[in-house]
């Protein structure tokens, strides 16, 4: 073969080989484009679609940032133990575990949800007892009891099954969200639950320690404490002491920011920042635990017995203005504050619920008239059963006519016209001045959230009738605490004290801040106070307040049954019943107000509030080891 | 040091050392490369072992410290739980329920003992 033929052959061979190469190149190009596309798509997924997730993950790997949450202060009450005062925590802290998941790590959400439900069960807020009201609403009372019970059982089981399914679905939905980094499943786990979940050894389930408030004394003044609840994604004290002292109790948060190395260790020379947290201060209350318990318990039992809409009791030390006990009904559990039916229950009725006090206000009227020497205990007037003001005839309770009466009898029998007589003797202007001097119409300044001032606008109106109705406690609005402070002045030589409930705060370093009693003013003279106290003793000994008496002790006080304005703006059948009193007469250790709002049973203070006062007063006097005023009291002999 | 050293700037006690370089030469003569290497290797081994021991020791102590810290944390948690239990047991509701279980009854009537006074005498 010639060299030319060879060349030709080579050319043709090269051509066929060249077309094969081109195909291969094209395949390779397609392969590279495909790989590049996959890479681009993956990068898009990683950087755009899941960018936040991986940024957070990376930040957690090479940076540490933690907010240091301060420990919230404890709230202590005092208690008398063999003559010595000791502290007892009423509100403390407890650390509980919260279960959360990293859904990305969960392999089988369905079986995990079922396993978790088997351990956790239904959450606390699922309340069968509350649901039963609706579930059984249509079951007639006339239905055969056996049949009714069978229906109830079936419905109960069905309801529980529904709740179980609902909860398992909820947990499943939390676990089956692979794009999520964190999902909280259940708060406040018990140690037993934590251990059982750990034993499951399921990847993707973690625990985080949380601080919760701890209330060792259930049902003992939820309205007094308030609660530590979530506001705008942060926990904050609300209502009561928690609300008023939120900043002091809360302390100052700290923070730590540091860089990590590849192994997750902190880099000492990195861009680090540390601010120490400052734990909250603790509060030492003036409240006595034993008296508080007794007062709350007695009030709750009586309020249920009388079917009262609300009720309240406050016990103060008249010499200092210190609150010894303070309780409202219905109360709520601050540990489960979210489960109340009506948010009104958060308000403390002793400072929030201003009302027409009724006849307990007659003591204030009498104080003003006595103090200006316009009446004496034996001053007499003739009761005709009413007082005419234009077209209005103000009558006595139960339309009684008493005839000639002394001022002592005015209080004993709670005569409205007698209070009007005393007010007129003092003059309406002087009466108004005294009412204001007793600080009615102004906030007392107690360290609790939600205090109202009351309303005295009526007595500033022209016309004597407004002063006349105010003289027996109608037409003006006062809070039970304001009334207690006024009665405190009667038992404290005429000095009105400012109420206070915190005696000390102790900060995290142990520095103590003391709160001292504050005198507002001398409203009436010591002599007037003494005379008035004697007249109030007569009310308990001879008048309407007999059931407030405590055998062996001389007790003073006054009943008050006030009409309540109904929805149409007129006085209806509902009443507010109050007893305000003090004991012992010789050296009053306490002043107490017991009030029931709109009781359906026992609509007179003499037979509702007064016995509750007596019950609590007896406990306090024995608790304080107060010797009998009258050891020969025949009532004592009847006791065992 | 002999005072003449400064004056003469020479060592008259060992004149053979006065010549420049003689000192280095004599030092070099004593120097044994093999021995030096052996000494350096031995030192390296000794320091290496010491370093390992120290590192090991520090690591072990670290684990011990961490273990103790965990123990402190656990004890603190346990202590808090015991305190809470103690407070719960002391709560009024619990005390009252216990009291009724022990058949205790409320005091209805007090006996007040009057003080005799500070001065007393035998008859």
Model confidence pLDDT, tens digit, residues A259-271:
776 666 666 666 7
> Hey, is the C-beta of B113 within 8 angstroms of any chain A C-beta?
no
Region A139-165: what's the mean pLDDT?
86
Distance in angstroms (rounded) separating the CA atoms of residues A472 and A485: 18
> Hey, is the C-beta of B90 within 8 angstroms of any chain A C-beta?
yes
Position A540 scores a pLDDT of: 94
Instruction: Pick A266 or A541 by higher pLDDT.
Output: A541
CA–CA distance from A476 to each of A11, A396, A419, A425 (Å)? 120, 18, 15, 20
For residue B110, give the chain A residue with the closest CA.
A622
Per-residue pLDDT of A203-233, as tens digits, reads 999 999 888 999 988 778 889 999 998 887 7
Identify the weakest region by mean pLDDT among A18-22, A112-116, A216-220, B110-114: B110-114
* Range 169-228 of A in CB contact (< 8 A) with B: 214, 216-220
> Hey, is the C-beta of B93 within 8 angstroms of any chain A C-beta?
yes
Could you tell me the sign of the dihedral formed by the alpha carbons of B72, B75, B81, B85, in that order?
Answer: negative
Q: What is the dihedral of CA A484, A225, A294, A590, to 10 degrees?
A: -30
Position A591 scores a pLDDT of: 97
Closest to A321 in 3D by CA, of A446, A190, A224:
A446
Q: Which of A289, A631, A636 sits opposite B92 (nearest CB)?
A: A289
Contact present, A239 and A216 (Cβ < 8 Å): no
CA–CA distance from A422 to each of A370, A381, A411, A414, A418 (Å)? 8, 10, 11, 13, 6
Region A432-451: what's the mean pLDDT?
94
Region A540-550: what's the mean pLDDT?
91
Can you name the CATH fold of A288-335+350-639?
Beta-lactamase (3.40.710)
Q: Which of B88, B91, B112 sits opposite A631 (nearest CB)?
A: B112
Terminal CA-CA length for chain A: 145
Q: Which one of A97, A217, A551, A615 would you mutate to disrupt binding with B, by most B Cβ within 10 Å of its Cβ?
A: A217
Position A3 scores a pLDDT of: 52
Position A564 scores a pLDDT of: 87
Q: Please indicate whether, in this complex, the C-beta atoms of A289 and B108 are within 8 angstroms of each other.
A: no
Extract the tokens encoding A531.
Answer: 């005379």
Closest Cα of chain B to A354: distance in Å? 31
Distance in angstroms (rounded) separating the CA atoms of residues A560 and A480: 12
Per-residue pLDDT band at A1 (split at 50, 70, 90) = very low
> Which secondary-structure segment (H or E) carries A603?
none
Distance in angstroms (rounded) separating the CA atoms of residues A521 and A283: 27
CA atoms within 13 A on the CB side of B42: 6
Q: Please indicate whether, in this complex, the C-beta atoms of B88 and A622 are within 8 angstroms of each other.
A: no
Contact present, A237 and A346 (Cβ < 8 Å): no
CA atoms within 13 A on the CB side of B53: 6
Q: Does residue A251 have a pLDDT over 70? A: yes
> Hey, is the C-beta of B87 within 8 angstroms of any chain A C-beta?
yes
Region A608-630: what's the mean pLDDT?
92
Position A112 scores a pLDDT of: 93
Identify the weakest region by mean pLDDT among A87-101, A127-141, A461-475, A574-588: A127-141
B contacts of A214 (beta carbons < 8 Å): 84
* Range 64-83 of B in CB contact (< 8 A) with A: 77, 80
Q: Which residues of chain B have pLDDT under 70?
A: 1-23, 114-123
Position B8 scores a pLDDT of: 61
Closest Cα of chain A to B112: distance in Å? 6
Q: What percent of chain A has pLDDT over 90?
A: 58
Extract the tokens encoding A345.
Answer: 């229950």
For residue A629, give the chain B residue with the closest CA.
B112
Q: Which of B87, B88, B110 sits opposite A622 (nearest CB)?
A: B110
Position A638 scores a pLDDT of: 73
A contacts of B109 (beta carbons < 8 Å): 636, 639-640
Instruction: Pick A378 or B30 by higher pLDDT.
Output: A378
Q: What percent of chain A has pLDDT over 70?
A: 93
Phi and psi angles of residue A123, each rounded to the nearest 5 degrees, phi first: -70, 165
The 8 Å CB, 24+ separation contacts for A52-61 are A53/A179, A53/A181, A56/A181, A57/A181, A61/A260, A61/A264
Instruction: Pick A156 or B123 by higher pLDDT.
Output: A156
- How many contacts (CB atoms, under 8 Å) link A and B? 39
Task: Compute the mean pLDDT over every residue in chain A, rounded to the nearest whole number.
Answer: 88
Q: Please indicate whether, in this complex, the C-beta atoms of A216 and B112 are within 8 angstroms of each other.
A: no
> Hey, is the C-beta of A293 within 8 angstroms of any chain B C-beta?
yes
Region A289-303: what's the mean pLDDT?
94
Instruction: Pick B16 or A115 by higher pLDDT.
Output: A115
Position A125 scores a pLDDT of: 77
**CA angle centred on A226, ends A120 and A503, rounded to 5°:** 130
Q: Does residue A558 have a pLDDT over 50? A: yes
Q: Does residue A7 have a pLDDT over 70? A: no
Place of tokens 């031995």: B42
Q: Please indicate whether, in this complex, the C-beta atoms of B92 and A217 are within 8 angstroms of each other.
A: yes
Distance in angstroms (rounded) separating the CA atoms of residues A296 and A478: 22
B contacts of A290 (beta carbons < 8 Å): 92
> Hey, is the C-beta of B84 within 8 angstroms of any chain A C-beta?
yes
Ranges of each domain in chain A: 3-49, 288-335+350-639
- Name the most confidently modeled range: A166-180, A512-526, B53-67: A512-526
SS3 A283: strand
Q: Please indicate whether, in this complex, the C-beta atoms of A639 and B84 are within 8 angstroms of each other.
A: no
Q: Please indicate whether, in this complex, the C-beta atoms of A218 and B93 are within 8 angstroms of each other.
A: yes
Per-residue pLDDT band at A605 (split at 50, 70, 90) = confident
Identify the weakest region by mean pLDDT among A224-228, A312-316, A335-339, A510-514: A335-339
Per-residue pLDDT of A466-509, as tens digits, reads 999 999 999 999 999 999 999 999 999 999 999 999 999 999 99
Per-residue pLDDT band at A243 (split at 50, 70, 90) = very high
Contact present, A282 and A74 (Cβ < 8 Å): yes
> Hey, is the C-beta of B115 within 8 angstroms of any chain A C-beta?
no
Count the residues in chain A: 640
Position B18 scores a pLDDT of: 64
> Hey, is the C-beta of B35 within 8 angstroms of any chain A C-beta?
no
Contact present, A348 and A332 (Cβ < 8 Å): no
């Amino acid at each position: 073969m010639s060299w030319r033929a060879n060349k030709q052959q080579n050319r043709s061979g090269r051509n066929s080989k060249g077309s094969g190469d081109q195909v291969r190149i094209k395949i390779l190009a397609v392969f590279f484009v495909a790989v590049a596309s996959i890479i681009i798509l993956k990068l898009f997924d990683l950087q755009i679609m899941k960018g936040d997730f991986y940024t957070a993950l990376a930040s957690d790997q090479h940076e540490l940032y933690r907010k240091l949450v301060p420990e919230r202060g404890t709230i202590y009450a005092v208690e008398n133990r063999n003559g010595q005062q000791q502290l007892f925590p009423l509100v403390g802290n407890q650390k509980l575990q919260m279960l959360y998941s990293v859904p990305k790590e969960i392999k089988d959400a369905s079986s995990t949800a079922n396993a978790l439900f088997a351990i956790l069960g239904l959450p606390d807020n699922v309340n069968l007892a509350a649901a039963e009201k609706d579930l059984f609403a249509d079951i007639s009372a006339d239905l055969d009891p056996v049949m009714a019970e069978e229906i109830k059982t079936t419905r109960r089981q069905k309801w529980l099954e529904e709740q179980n399914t609902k909860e398992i679905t909820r947990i499943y939905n939390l676990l089956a969200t692979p794009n999520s980094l964190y999902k909280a499943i259940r708060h406040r786990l018990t140690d037993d639950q934590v251990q059982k979940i750990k034993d499951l050894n399921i990847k993707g389930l973690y625990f985080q320690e949380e601080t919760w408030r701890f209330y060792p004394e259930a049902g003992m003044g939820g309205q007094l404490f308030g609660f530590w609840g979530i506001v705008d994604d942060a926990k904050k004290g609300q209502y009561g002491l928690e609300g008023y002292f939120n900043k002091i109790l809360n302390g100052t948060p700290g923070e730590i920011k540091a860089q990590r190395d590849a192994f997750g260790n902190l880099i000492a020379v990195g861009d680090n920042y540390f601010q120490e947290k400052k734990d909250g201060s603790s509060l030492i209350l003036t409240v006595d635990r034993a008296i508080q318990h007794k007062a709350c318990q007695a009030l709750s039992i009586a309020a249920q017995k009388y079917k009262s809409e609300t009720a309240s009791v406050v016990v103060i030390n008249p010499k200092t203005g210190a609150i010894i006990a303070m309780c409202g009904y219905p109360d709520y559990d601050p540990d489960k504050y979210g489960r109340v039916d009506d948010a009104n229950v958060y308000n403390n009725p002793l400072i929030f619920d201003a009302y027409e006090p009724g006849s307990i206000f007659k003591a204030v009227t009498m104080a003003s008239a006595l103090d200006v020497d316009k009446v004496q205990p034996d001053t007499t007037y003739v009761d005709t059963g009413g007082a005419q003001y234009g077209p209005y005839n103000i009558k006595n309770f139960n339309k009684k006519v008493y005839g000639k009466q002394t001022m002592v009898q005015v209080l004993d029998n709670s005569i409205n016209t007698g209070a009007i007589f005393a007010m007129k003797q003092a003059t309406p202007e002087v009466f108004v001045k005294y009412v204001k001097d007793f600080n009615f119409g102004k906030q007392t300044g107690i360290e609790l959230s939600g205090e109202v001032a009351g309303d005295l606008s009526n007595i500033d109106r022209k016309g004597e009738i407004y002063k006349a109705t105010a003289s027996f406690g109608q037409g003006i609005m006062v809070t039970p605490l304001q009334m207690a402070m006024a009665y405190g002045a009667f038992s404290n030589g005429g000095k009105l004290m400012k109420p206070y409930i915190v005696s000390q705060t102790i900060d995290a370093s142990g520095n103590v801040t003391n709160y001292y009693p504050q005198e507002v003013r001398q409203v009436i003279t010591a002599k007037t106070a003494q005379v008035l106290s004697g007249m109030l003793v007569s009310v308990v000994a001879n008048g309407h307040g007999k059931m407030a008496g405590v055998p062996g002790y001389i007790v003073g006080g006054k009943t008050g049954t006030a009409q309540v304005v109904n929805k149409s703006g007129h006085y209806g059948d509902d009443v507010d019943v109050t007893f305000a009193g003090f004991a012992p007469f010789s050296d009053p250790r306490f002043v107490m107000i017991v009030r029931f709002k709109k009781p359906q049973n026992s609509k007179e203070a003499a037979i509702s509030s007064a016995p509750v006062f007596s019950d609590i007063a007896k406990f306090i006097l024995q608790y304080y080891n107060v010797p009998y005023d009258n050891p020969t009291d025949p009532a004592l002999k009847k006791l065992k | 040091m002999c005072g003449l050293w400064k004056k003469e700037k020479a060592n008259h006690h060992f004149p053979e050392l006065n010549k420049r370089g003689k000192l280095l030469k004599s030092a070099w003569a004593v120097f044994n490369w093999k021995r030096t290497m052996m000494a350096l290797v031995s030192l390296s081994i000794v320091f290496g072992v010491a370093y390992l021991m120290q590192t090991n020791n520090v690591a072990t102590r670290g684990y011990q410290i961490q273990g103790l810290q965990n123990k402190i944390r656990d004890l603190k948690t346990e202590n808090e739980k015991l305190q809470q239990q103690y407070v719960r047991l002391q709560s009024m509701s619990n005390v009252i329920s216990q009291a009724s279980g022990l058949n205790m009854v409320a005091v209805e009537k007090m006996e007040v003992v009057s003080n005799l006074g500070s001065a007393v005498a035998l008859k």
